[in-house]
Structure 1
Amino acid sequence: MKQNNESPLKRIWTLAKSEHRRLKFSIVLAVFGIASGFIPYFCAGKIIILLLSGAAEMRDCIPWLILALIGSIGKVLLTTFSTSQSHIATFAVLAEVRNKCVHKLSKLSMGTLQNQSIGKWKSILVDQIESMEKTLAHLFPEMTSNLLSPLLLIVILFVIDWRMALISIMTLPIGMIFMMVTMKNYPEKYQKSIKIGRKMNDSIVEYINGIEVIKAFNQGKEAYAGYVDAVNANAEFFYGWMKSAQFGMAFYRNFSPAVLVGVLPVGLGFYLNGSISSSQFIMVMILSMGIVGPIIAASNFIDSLAQTGTIIEDIETILNAKEQNHPKEYVKLSGTDIEMEHVSFAYEEENGNILSDINLTIRQGTVNAFVGPSGSGKSTITKLIAGFWDINEGNIRMGGKDMKQIPLAQISDNIAYVSQDNFLFDDTICENIRMGKENATNKEVEEVAKKAGCDEFIRNLEHGYDTMVGGGGAHLSGGERQRIAIARAMLKNASIVILDEATAYIDPENEAILQKAISKLVQGKTLIMIAHRLSTIINADQILLVDQGKISAAGTHKQLLKKSILYENMWKAHIGAKDGEE
């Protein structure tokens, strides 16, 4: 991805493009709010001058008191309204960014998605985008107003006395020198903090996801130690960083606002030699104390700005990621025959090809099975057929059209894909099945569940079809989850059904029922399956034997027994295993 050299502030502003109008209004309100906040200081100066003159009466002070009250109320109202506007804009922007990211993910290849850990995707889409709320909601109105208002005060001080104006800002550059020295390696430190934080997040997600294995193999101590090490490394890094920056930042925050260190002695000297009047001296003292505070408040956004800049980089890795290059307009297909010609494929080029020179034809309405040793490339072929990746070498055609010329949505419409580890959403069983066809009636859901062999166990549950399955289907067994996933695919009624070892978790009794249901439901459809039990595919129209990323043989069960030693050995091993089970 091309590196973006724009400043974080400009990138944030670009990100919030849809809400520029509301944010600008928020900035204007914030500036007037800060300006209103200075009115009481000015009024206090006027009242003190009146009191020191010795001729002040209550009626002389009342107008200034009223004006001070108006300024205070104005500040509260304006800043409150400004903050509400900026928050409305911020939540709209965050929603838009999340929607864009999720929409983009659906266009990326599975390789791009699987190349990053679940922890990172979760961190970007949930944690990091959410952490932008504070910066977006407060950065533009507050930082802008906190920078403009001191400038206004300095202009007023220059009008009163240019010498005193310079003296009043003397402590700021001295304090900033200390801050700059402290922050000289800030970018490197912050980038390191992001990496350490991500490592901790990944460790936490891994620990939680693997808790079942940890318990089963009594590895709690070792696994927990890895988690603790990641958490401690995160804490130690931030402790060391904050400790190294403690002195410089403390000096900056405490010395910079100490404007009276210069204003009092110098101003007193000017007053004694007649260079300034008492009223000027008093007004300078009061107004000068309002200069540095807003500037320090604005500088507090430096960390948030850097953090948000890094987050935007992560967001841009998603939004600018290479999409699968497919058109949007549906095309006319001549049936659903699938052809692969000289297809070679690698998940990552540096790791070499997983598939090499694959050639095959799958005819519409036929039953096709991929078999072969574990890791031979069976699942990769079916995923390429399903459009999960785009190939670089060779051609894949569906219905006579190059797959790259078919919209991803159209490919999805034509294919129902069921893997050995399907995901169920934390919703009811009924709604999980209904995802195959959004407008399906309850009766249609129940009918397909019966055909998929899962109606009986569903009805035996306490809430039947309204039973919540839990995150990922955690409340159900592996076999139950699989049957529901198969029912969902059946309800989709796609012209091509791909079962990637979809019966791996099904017990033999239910598998026999399921195979009968599948044979009825795929009539007139193309069935592609990866089988772990060869006895279930002996009647397939075509069996394709995959070995070391190549199609080593193709034909019917009887044909392969005669011409492939590998298939014959696999069959003998399968029969021997069945006999052993009996």
Structure 2
Amino acid sequence: MIDALKKIWDFSGKEKGNLNKSVLLGFVYAMFNMLQISAIYFILKAIINGERDTKPMIIALSFLLISILGRTVTDKFAQLQRTHAGYFMVAEKRISIGNKLKTVPMGYFNENNLGEITGITTTILDEVENTAPMVLVNMMSGFIDSIVFLLMILVYRWQIGIFITVGIILYLWVTSVMERKSRNLAPLRQEAQEKLVDALLEQLQGMLIIKAFNLTGKGDKKLKTAMQNSRNANLNLEKLFTPYTIMQEMVLRMCSVGIMLFALYSYFKGEMNLLTTLMSIIISFSVFSGLESAGSAMSILRIVSSSIEDANRTDDLVQMDSNGKELSPSNHDIIFNNVSFSYEKKKILDGISVTLPDKSFTAIIGPSGSGKTTMCNLIARFWDVDNGSILIGGHDVKEYTLESLMSQISIVFQKVYLFQDTIENNIRFGKPEASREDVIAAAKSACCHEFIMSLPLGYETVAGEGGMNLSGGEKQRISIARAILKDAPIIILDEATANVDPENEDRLQNAIEALTKDKTVIMIAHRLKTVRHADRILVINKMKIEQQGTHDELIHKEGIYRRFIAEREDATAWKM
């Protein structure tokens, strides 16, 4: 239990102060709560003694008013401090996870890890935000409340204090057993929640396929299984808690009954006067209220602790070394020096050595899965090479900080992703400080100004998640506008014209030529028009560079490139 509380305390980080204030306010709340008992005492004393004046009533009313006002104020500020702590400590963790994800290898972002990290940053951290401060503060405040009661009773009637002490000890023992028993089930519940998020994401992302193949209600076995497992995990945890919750309740109720019976027994034996007897009976109903509040918090302590453990696992993510230097080289030649790379156990590149000169245009072609995109991703250090090195401007990419490396590179992906934001902000993503005029100029260069202006809100139109409100060609052109605005010295184009309609292809080709002027350009391409004018063409096959040269050099050599051109010409000439 102490270990679990320490995890919450450590997780709170900069918010420890607010948690401390909330606990302190809980102590003040308990003191104001005691005033209610004092008010009852004065009323009963006046009644028993037959007092007819208004003084006892005024004293009791004053105590009640002070108690109500004090509890209202302290509870308000305690909740504010607690809520502030919960929100900001989780916000800091989410920001920390986001920053770490920028430096992990791209291989981390497979489907399973996507579901796991999504579950951590949403469901799991939501639980921490809503429950961790409440658990910590309620437990501390509940214990303080019970201790204040106990100290007051020990001074007032030590025999009753024994009943209270026994009740507290037995209650904590039952709670401790429950907490230990939940250690095995709580992680299973967290795992079930993560798998549910993963299955739900997969279902949503594959909805187009599900509808296209009429699999509605049939292709959701994984999701149904995940929902069933999540339900079972939660039910198992509740089934575990139920008998212990009953035992907790019985312990406190029996101790309360013990206090009442002792008070009545002492009264009838003449060892306790009527006022003390009545006050003892009244106290028996409220003495354990703070402890019950603490116990309710303790019942979910293990879940909170397990959630924090899951969130803290992100601290151990494998990160590429980003402790480099802020470099800005004078030239931007790219050198592959005996580079090898594997995705897990599958080798993709083997001993690649090539130099891409500064301000040259290199086209890369090859069969699907040959490693074309991988070469480009290694330049941007989305992954680290297994062997060898990649140099930009004479510096190993590992020598750059992440920021300075990416400032040298603009990438236009074949599969474009736009954020749930305005068209203008999606273009400005390439250069956050750019003005509206700069954004429009980039959009015009990328041949997308006209279609943007035809949208309901023009540049203020929201693209939708992933750019769902736009066609593939429109997204591609916005992506090129983003790259034009960034104006980096190295341009990587992954089949940038793949989704562009024929009437805009020529204009977009001109825009790409403007984008790539006086830059070091690497283009993954499949079209003859695209590769014909490259300074060098690299043909990747079977993990190696099988051919390299200009179009005129390679077209006269037997090999993949010559077959590639022949196949493209045949495809172009084909008619229905």
TM superposition score normalised by structure 1: 0.91
**Counterpart residue number, 1:556:** 550
CA offset at residue 112 of structure 1?
2.7
Match in the other structure for 2:298: 302
1:214 aligns with 2:220: no
Partner Cα separation in structure 2 for residue 243 and residue 26 of structure 1: 32
Q: What per-residue deviation string (whole Å, max 9, x for no partner) do you get for residues 274-313 of structure 1?
A: 4444444333333333332211211222244333323322
Indicate conservation of the 8 Å contact 1:338/1:398, yes or no: yes
Contact 2:138–2:297 (Cα < 8 Å) also in 1: no
1:149 equivalenced with 2:145 (yes/no): yes
Cα 1:89–1:245, aligned 2, differ >3 Å: closer, same or farther? closer
Which amino acid in 2 is paired with 1:45? Y
Query: 1:168-222, CA deviations, whole angstroms, 9 ceiling, x for partnerless residues?
Result: 4445555566555555531221111111112221222222222222112212122
Choose which of 544, 562, 577 in structure 1 pairs with 2:571: 577
**2 CA distance for matches of 1:377 and 1:63?**
85
Contact between 1:42 and 1:283, CA under 8 Å: does it hold in 2? no
**Distance in 2 between the 1:158 and 1:463 partners?**
73
Aligned match for 2:530, one of 527, 536, 544 = 536
Match for residue 87 of structure 2 among 84, 91, 94: 91
Q: Kindly indicate whether residue 486 of structure 2 is the aligned counterpart of residue 502 of structure 1.
A: no
Which amino acid letter does the alignment assign opposite residue 544 of structure 2? K
Q: 1:69 to 1:433 in 2, by over 3 A?
A: closer
Shift of 1:44: 1.3
Q: Which runs of 5+ in 1 are unaligned?
A: none
Q: Distance in 1 between matches of 2:434 and 2:575?
A: 41
Correspondence for 1:339: 335
Q: Quick check: 325-334 or 355-364, which moved more?
A: 325-334
- Checking the alignment, whether the CA contact within 8 Å between 2:342 and 2:348 is kept in structure 1 is yes
Structure 2 residue corresponding to 1:391, chosen from 376, 385, 390: 385
1:405 and 1:96 map into 2 onto residues whose CA distance is 28
- Residue 264 (1) aligns with residue 260 (2): yes
User: Can you list the C-alpha shifts for 1:479-521, whole angstroms capped at 9, x where unaligned?
Assistant: 1111110121122111110011222222344333322332233
The answer to whether the 8 A contact 1:453-1:513 is kept is: yes
Is the deviation greater in 363-372 or in 20-29? 20-29
Question: Are the counterparts in 1 of residues 168 and 291 from structure 2 also a CA contact under 8 Å?
Answer: no
Q: 2:348 aligns with which of 348, 354, 373?
A: 354
Moved more, 109-118 or 511-520: 109-118
Say whether the 8 Å CA contact 2:324–2:399 is kept in structure 1.
no
Q: Structure 2 counterpart of 1:419, which letter?
A: F
Distance in 2, matches of 1:313 and 1:492, equals 40
Aligned counterparts of 1:87 and 1:105: Cα–Cα separation in 2: 27
- 1:130 paired residue number: 126
Query: What percent of counterpart residues are identical?
Result: 31
Find the aligned partners of 1:261 and 1:443 in 2 and give their Cα distance: 79
Q: Which runs of 5+ in 2 are unaligned?
A: none
Q: Deviations over 1:346-392 (max 9, x none)?
A: 233xx243222111111111111111111111111100101212224
Output the TM-score relative to the length of structure 2. 0.92
SS of alignment partner, residue 388 of structure 1: coil
Q: For the residues of structure 2 that align with 1:332 and 1:519, how far apart are their CA atoms?
A: 24
Partners of 1:550 and 1:367 lie apart in 2 by: 20
The answer as to whether partners of 1:358 and 1:550 remain within 8 angstroms in 2 is yes
Moved more, 78-87 or 279-288: 279-288
AA aligned to 2:140 is T
Q: For residue 246 of structure 1, what is the amino acid of its counterpart?
A: T
Structure 1 Cα separation of the partners of residues 102 and 290 of structure 2: 45
Q: Post-superposition shift, 1:442?
A: 3.7
Q: How does 1:129-278 map to 2 (within 5 A)?
A: 129-174=125-170, 184-278=180-274
Matched, 1:522 2:516: yes
Query: Is 1:513–2:507 an aligned residue pair?
Result: yes
User: d(CA) in 2 for partners of 1:422 and 1:285?
Assistant: 72
Q: 1:552 to 1:7 in 2, by over 3 A?
A: farther
Instruction: Choose the corresponding residue for 1:51, options 47, 59, 70.
Output: 47
| 2-structure distance, mates of 1:10, 1:184 | 16
8 Å contact from structure 2 (residues 539, 546) kept in 1: yes
- CA–CA distance in 1 between the matches of 2:387 and 2:143? 57
Cα distance in 2 for residues equivalent to 1:333 and 1:309: 48
Decide which moves more: 126-135 or 371-380.
Answer: 126-135
By how many angstroms is 1:336 displaced?
0.4
Q: 1:286 is matched by which residue type in structure 2?
A: I
Aligned mates of 2:83, 2:290 — CA distance in 1: 21
Asked if the contact 1:171/1:257 (under 8 Å) is kept, the reply is no
Q: Distance in 2 between matches of 1:30 and 1:581?
A: 81
Cα distance, 1:166 vs. partner? 1.6
Q: How many angstroms does 1:43 deviate by? A: 2.9
Q: Secondary structure at the match of 1:369?
A: strand
Range moving further from structure 2, 555-564 or 389-398: 555-564
Bigger Cα displacement from structure 2, 208-217 vs 113-122:
113-122
2:349 counterpart of 1:368: no
Distance 2:346 2:308 in 1: 33
Question: Does the CA-based 8 Å contact 1:83-1:137 persist in structure 2?
Answer: no
Which amino acid counterpart does residue 490 of structure 1 have in structure 2? I
1:415 CA drift (Å): 0.5
Per-residue CA deviations over 1:453-487 (Å, capped at 9, x if unaligned) read: 33343344344433322111111111111111012
Number of aligned positions between the proteins: 576
Is the 8 Å Cα contact of residues 105 and 113 (structure 1) preserved in structure 2? no
- Please give the secondary structure, in 2, of the residue aligned with 1:353: strand
Deviation at 1:334, TM superposition (A): 4.0
- Stretch of structure 1 that moved more, 394-403 or 253-262: 253-262
Corresponding position of 2:463: 469
Q: Is the CA contact 1:554–1:560 (under 8 Å) kept in the aligned structure 2? A: yes
